[in-house]
Structure 1
Amino acid sequence: MVWEEAPPNFKTFFPEKYKDRLQRLPYRDNMRRTWEIHKRPALIMLHVFADDFEALEKWMEMAYQLAAHEDLRQEMDFYVEDLWLAYIFNTNDYSFLRRDGGCSVDSLPLIYAIAATGEVFFFGNLAGPKLPKLKSLREFCERVIKRKERKPLSIKPKVEDIDLASWNELIYASDEDIALCFYNSLQNGTEVNNSLMINLDRLADKVKQESVSLFKMDIRGVSPPKKFCLDTVPALFVLQKGQKHIPLRCKYELGLWTMLRFVAENSSDELHYYNRRGHQKLHAKLLTHMKDFFDSKNTENYEVF
């Protein structure tokens, strides 16, 4: 089910007793103006759903303790919101798959911090949110306030060329999954190869944070290993790290999203940012929205804590 309709309590889930320390997210334009004027660090805790507030109140209570007047609130703002009403993410064209994303009222909250300089940090790791505890969440906030957060981590996407001479070194010495595309350079300059190369570069960007190595091999004048059964090219295969001898051929036409879906379906372990259907996971999608919102000029990938 796509999460598009508001839960019945989305306007009322925020209890009065918390309003002296915590804020709900204002309309996106007001949020931008407020932050740009004050440039104060902020913590944004998003409840995945507000359907069952009892399952969520413990997280709000934790944020409330951190936001005590004598504690971190002097140096940072605290926002708590139900995901549906998070206008910061442009609800006009934003939706996510509720069941497919593996989210429920028991899911951990999605917690982000914004530094005074606009960098966005996620309280979790590539695979998703981590369990917040008062001590660890306070330390996270203090690092952001004191600008001791980790430096941005830039991961350069790449599609490496491979040939028979480098085959064993690159394929069998790797402890990662392999996505391998065969093509024929005789087709260079044609729409087939032009589109393929563009989509391979885009695929590399999509999976740059994943444990997947992406290679391409020109078969012009050479015969690739027989187990690939190449009747036509281009062709994409996935070699799982524990079964490199059993190549899996992509059954879809080779476009960006179909190749991404095939890799996601057949990776040894579920990808960090995409589920088995190739849909971007909620925490990754929101992290992108947050970065774009607070710093439209920023194109770096920020390392998570």
Structure 2
Amino acid sequence: MSRYYCGYNPAPPNFTTFFPEKYKDRLQRLPNFGKLRQTWEIHKRPTLVMLHVFADDFGALEKYVEMVYQLAAPQVLSAEMDFYVDDMWQSYIFNEEDFSFFRDDDGFSVDSFPLIYAIGSTGEVFFFGDFAGPKLPNLESLRDFCEEVIGGNVKEPTTKESKVEEISLDSWNELLYASDEDIAICFYNSLQDGTEVNKRLMINLDRLGDRLKQESVRLYKMDIHEVSVPKKFNVESSPAFFVLQGTQRHNPLRCKYELGIWTMLRFVAENSTEELNYYNRRGHLRLHANLLTHMRDYFDLSHNQSGCFL
């Protein structure tokens, strides 16, 4: 059984046979590389895509396939929506640049919920779940989701504002102890403003704020020029980046990496009280978020028309 979801690795053993004939009158498997978007563009029909991590154990998937099969009945939703069901290995068609899906990320097992996405008539991609991952479908909730997509009124979870808040000693206690959320804070010296170090740091902090906008982590920065930093931080030089866990405010953890966007993100992911919604402990995008990102790129008309993928 291959660890990777990738066109360059062996497919699951029953990849060509797992999809039973009895479902083929209503459900489709994903087409070959790059064909799904071309098919979608012709008709602009809302589309449901259900993928399972272990379709090579079809018993784990069949109850969900049966559910989608009922929704795809002519008298239910097939007149308004197309339905695809496949093994995760085939998902590489959504990722034309980087074949990097892992079968063993996030503790997936044969009992994991399927990953369900829908594409609206305008190319918007929606996930059946929330920031933390997929939710358990039933016939009623999945039908509601499909009808919302068809009607163009899907209610997605909202993210917080993407920003890095400036903090000072005057507001220190008020902000740091206002809640029990995890905190990431970067100490910098304004004497270095205009230098490459600070320019790069501020750009990376803004990017980090964007990547944490669906997470319960607050991001701050503080100018330490002519300021005495609380001793527990032991700031010997700047910049310095710390994580304070929600219930461990007295024990700040200093980033051991050279400060860059991915190293700071990894450090937050490694040390957050609870595992982040979109990133595993290594700072890698979790499977449901990774696939959502690539599907949105895949169906984004402006990206595809310009030949540009994020």
Same structural fold, with TM-score higher than 0.5 when normalized by the shorter chain: yes
Which letter does structure 2 place at the counterpart of 1:67?
A
Aligned residue in 1 for 2:179: 174
Give the distance between the partners of 1:190 and 1:155, measured in 2 at CA.
30
Q: Which digits, 9 at most, give the CA deviation of each residue in 1:10-60, with x for residues without a partner?
A: 122111111100011113432122211211111110111222111111111
- Shift of residue 3, structure 1, vs aligned partner: 4.2
- Shift of residue 150, structure 1, vs aligned partner: 2.0
SS at match of 2:63: helix
Aligned residue in 1 for 2:261: 256
Q: TM-score, normalised by structure 1?
A: 0.92
- Shift of residue 153, structure 1, vs aligned partner: 4.3
2:281 aligned to which of 276, 279, 283:
276
Change (3 A) 1:100 1:85: closer
Give the distance between the partners of 2:105 and 2:42, measured in 1 at CA.
39
Percent identity, aligned pairs only? 69
Give the distance between the partners of 1:150 and 1:9, measured in 2 at CA.
37
Aligned residue in 2 for 1:77: 82
Give the distance between the partners of 1:258 and 1:154, measured in 2 at CA.
23
Aligned residues: 298
Aligned residue in 2 for 1:226: 231
Give the distance between the partners of 2:57 and 2:33, measured in 1 at CA.
25
- Answering whether residue 59 of structure 2 is matched by residue 16 of structure 1, we say no
Q: TM-score, normalised by structure 2?
A: 0.91
- Answering whether residue 111 of structure 2 is matched by residue 106 of structure 1, we say yes
- Answering whether residue 103 of structure 2 is matched by residue 86 of structure 1, we say no
Give the distance between the partners of 1:76 and 1:293, measured in 2 at CA.
19
Preserved CA contact (<8 Å) 2:209 2:219: yes
Aligned residue in 1 for 2:308: none
Which letter does structure 2 place at the counterpart of 1:256?
I
SS at match of 1:45: strand
SS at match of 2:70: helix
- Shift of residue 154, structure 1, vs aligned partner: 6.1
Give the distance between the partners of 2:188 and 2:78, measured in 1 at CA.
58
Preserved CA contact (<8 Å) 2:4 2:89: no
- Answering whether residue 245 of structure 2 is matched by residue 237 of structure 1, we say no
Preserved CA contact (<8 Å) 2:5 2:91: no
Which runs of at least 4 in structure 1 moved beyond 3 Å after TM superposition? Answer: 1-4, 151-156
Give the distance between the partners of 1:296 and 1:221, measured in 2 at CA.
51
The runs of 5 or more residues in structure 2 that have no matched partner are 304-310
Change (3 A) 1:252 1:286: same
Aligned residue in 2 for 1:95: 100
Which letter does structure 2 place at the counterpart of 1:122?
F
The runs of 5 or more residues in structure 1 that have no matched partner are 299-305
Give the distance between the partners of 1:85 and 1:13, measured in 2 at CA.
12
Change (3 A) 1:53 1:65: same
Which letter does structure 2 place at the counterpart of 1:279?
H
Preserved CA contact (<8 Å) 1:51 1:105: no
1:157 aligned to which of 151, 157, 162:
162
Give the distance between the partners of 1:154 and 1:128, measured in 2 at CA.
15
Give the distance between the partners of 1:47 and 1:261, measured in 2 at CA.
27
Please, what is the CA RMSD of the aligned residues?
1.8
Q: Which digits, 9 at most, give the CA deviation of each residue in 1:212-252, with x for residues without a partner?
A: 11111110011111111111111111111112121111111
Aligned residue in 1 for 2:129: 124
Give the distance between the partners of 1:226 and 1:195, measured in 2 at CA.
27
